[in-house]
Structure 1
């Protein structure tokens, strides 16, 4: 078994790497028990019958901030770093090749959705996943959408679990360093973000804000987890923040004791959750880009604001702030067929796990194959996607 294999706890059987797979993709085959294909999703995909629209709205399921610490600790509820008043132009240093761990898959590999489950139980105790069809990260949805669109992309793997009727799609990367490191030429984005934003009182040692929304994707009820870069709200008047944001900031807990261990029980706090209407994505580019280049990420996260900083070797002029929520309807109309194909793929993946008796499966897309497809294989991992105690709290 290789050093990058997914959790060792509870594994049985012998893993079967595909001998035809390029060596650089061999990691994807770790914990695949044999080469038997349970199901194959072929491109082009037959779309689902139901329309996909963001107009049906969303619900905040839970949110949390990762705390800078050796052990995985989170604040519940979370709050994104708040956009600050900055005089432009500014020059920021180039990002380092590595960044602090804040991805749940890296910090809690045994159960990457556990922080969200604990946030949900604390913030939304009446919420039940019984009627949720799909629990997934935004990153995985973007990869699956690119597959549906026929866009060429790198090979990828996702882990599939079934809890009652809920398909849990877990992000899987080659190494933790890919999750936390970015490319060797990582640009200026992280330092630009740090310069523009500041976490609220009591959350100053946060490293990231993550949240999950429930919304419809055609006939499927989805809970989608993603990271939010910043909290942004339009000013009421020049030189001041809006009253609603100011009220929320004034009610934030300043007691650092609210930071909890991700594996410990959580207690409700008085901290006010950030409104989704204030969620913003921060992007940087050396050349001018349109908001359309980022729309899949924004749409899947229902992120209404895009803050785009254009720079020359790290010197930034005043960023453009775009109300991207106003473009959701036109974007989903243009990409309606692909979104309906995505809904069909998600339904196929859930059915594949059912065909495997509800046992853990692994879905793999290989870049090198002549025909574009996603193949589902049985896994030799015999682990629960949800701790038993949380399963009892969040599923009836």
Structure 2
């Protein structure tokens, strides 16, 4: 296909790189934030994650109902879902050199691309998806898109327990020969004495019940002494500098499942791998009555999964590189599309489309150039 109509990337034609392992290395925490309930898009940085405190007795939870988020960043800030990632990053590290990054993406995008390479890596199989991409300098931004960013669960419907904490972490790592900045949601963390507290009392939770509840904060209950509140020029976002800093090795993912359907590590490994989340809670229930749930350190299991899936992960490196080349060929603004039943991803130009970030954030690429002259 020509660059005017798009670039076709075939699964069968992807050639995995040579002997170099497709492993995630040099993982670093960059920033974090929590969404705050407000009339305008508002985040707290570094934010407040829920703390894990296991219940001593079985707990009965109400099923999810009402408003739940499918893609929370897009739902809360549809004009620029990637903006809170960059705002929190530059609050924490104003001198961060974005030019050294090949890819900026949500974990969800990494998982979708992996499911294209290996459909069995997704619990629901390979489904159609669309990702919006933009090249800035040599960095490709990948913005998650969904048909619906939120939904209302009626009282008679059942769609599980515990959607969306609103707390997101931004990390960086090397994957093969690629440098990535990845955003992902965090369900909670295991409290440690080393946790540093910044301007805000730690959010208390009541074990599994608290972690699976609605943990978004409101602007009225964020009353830490003297938080710095700002609104960048040309942006619709409000940033409150408050919260706690959580170490990487304490973060955890929570998965709920009915008692008779046990959750195998293979089902959750791709998600934990893409965000390098070290801890997992498998919470089993019988009609909403949850039994004791324990925190497992799954670091070694995820590493074992990575080693066992080198064939697919090497092709994932090749796919990401092919997409970067295609976005450049398409003029720097493109749509990455997979249609169900196909063996191809199509990257098409987005001529005249709006840019993914506010104007001032693009200056970060130019400012870094000026500093090196």
> Normalising by structure 1, what TM-score?
0.77
Q: Answer whether contact 1:64 1:76 (CA < 8 A) is retained.
A: yes
Per the alignment, residue 247 of structure 2 pairs with: 275
Q: Offset of 1:85 from its aligned partner?
A: 4.0
Secondary structure of the 1:244 match is coil
Per the alignment, residue 364 of structure 1 pairs with: 337
CA distance in 1, matches of 2:111, 2:336: 15
Which protein is richer in strand relative to its size?
2
Q: Offset of 1:66 from its aligned partner?
A: 0.3
Q: Offset of 1:381 from its aligned partner?
A: 4.2
Per the alignment, residue 7 of structure 2 pairs with: 39
The within-5 A match list for 1:1-396 is 37-44=5-12, 45-49=14-18, 50-54=20-24, 56-96=25-65, 98-99=67-68, 103-151=72-120, 152-177=125-150, 185-190=158-163, 208-233=166-191, 242-245=192-195, 248-249=196-197, 252=200, 254-255=224-225, 257-258=227-228, 263=235, 269=241, 271-286=243-258, 287-358=261-332, 360-369=333-342, 372-393=343-364, 396=368
Residues 342-363 of structure 1 deviation map (CA, whole Å, 9 limit, x = unaligned): 11111111101111222x1111
CA distance in 2, matches of 1:48, 1:267: 42
Q: Answer whether contact 1:38 1:376 (CA < 8 A) is retained.
A: yes
Range with bigger deviation, 248-257 or 210-219:
248-257
CA distance in 2, matches of 1:316, 1:292: 23
Q: Answer whether contact 2:278 2:298 (CA < 8 A) is retained.
A: yes
> Normalising by structure 2, what TM-score?
0.81
Q: 1:208 to 1:256 in 2, by over 3 A?
A: farther
Range with bigger deviation, 99-108 or 56-65:
99-108
Q: 1:313 to 1:353 in 2, by over 3 A?
A: same
Q: Offset of 1:181 from its aligned partner?
A: 6.5
Secondary structure of the 2:39 match is coil
CA distance in 1, matches of 2:32, 2:185: 10
- Segments of structure 1 that go 5 or more residues without pairing to the other structure are 1-33, 194-206, 234-241
C-alpha RMSD of matched pairs (Å): 2.8
**Residue-pair matches, total:** 333
